[in-house]
Amino acid sequence: SNKSSRFGSTQSTVLALRSIVAYDNANARPKAPGRILLSVDGRTAGAPLAFTASNQGALVLPDFTSQLVPGKHTVALKMEDGSSMPFSISIKYNNLLPDSAKEAQVGLQVVLKDAQVQEGNVTEAVVSIANESDQAIPTPVAIVGIPGGLEVRHDQLKELVKSGKIDAYEVIGREVVLYWRYLKAKNKFDVPLSLVAAIPGSYTGPASRAYLYYTDEFKNWAPGLKVNITRR
């Protein structure tokens, strides 16, 4: 499947794109007029979408999100007349804690030392990393969601690199990205992240996740951290 304009890892994306081009070349047929019908759970969604042989660009179907109430659904496309054509569906959704993949090899837990911190004081997020496989794994990555109102200390992150706790890091918005070249088999360790309480309020950070750089479709997820920052 295509996620975030990619088909899994870098290598699999290249192979998938080559396969798509080869398939289109092998199955190209003359265009013909027709119409497309969309149904959700056996019920028609919106009016049929008619097209001609001279249509250019994507044929956009009606919005059917109102029919996707909680639970399982079957979405079906049917074409009357016309000729074979490629199709795709783009899904955007929000989830506070996505499901972890059973294939994930990097274990992750993140705990905030203090649920309540006074403005200007320092707290700590403890990031627990584990290689859950029986062999060394290459290029593990952990992305730690930081609640709004807390600020990372770049000097402390640089010290983590210098001490060998991590090999590199980035700070992107509310997330700290930690990199390692590899992890030994069954290796487990903690990484402390020092955080300064900067802005009073109650905050919940984005979910954290860990994965191997070249197989980022297999992630372990950890709940977003919560903190209450009080005024001085």
Question: Are 46 and 19 within 8 A, CB to CB?
Answer: no
Residue partners of 218: CB distance under 8 A and separation at least 6: 101, 103, 104, 105, 211, 212
Question: Are 177 and 170 within 8 A, CB to CB?
Answer: yes
Cα gap 106→211, rounded to integer Å: 6
- Full set of structural domains in the chain with CATH: 10-81 (no CATH), 106-230 (2.60.40.690)
Question: Are 109 and 128 within 8 A, CB to CB?
Answer: yes
pLDDT in tens, the chain (232 residues): 566 666 777 777 888 888 877 877 776 556 788 898 899 999 888 888 888 888 777 888 888 888 888 889 999 988 888 777 777 777 777 889 999 999 999 999 999 999 999 999 999 999 999 999 999 999 999 999 999 999 999 999 999 999 999 999 999 999 999 999 999 999 999 999 999 999 999 999 999 999 999 999 999 999 999 999 999 9
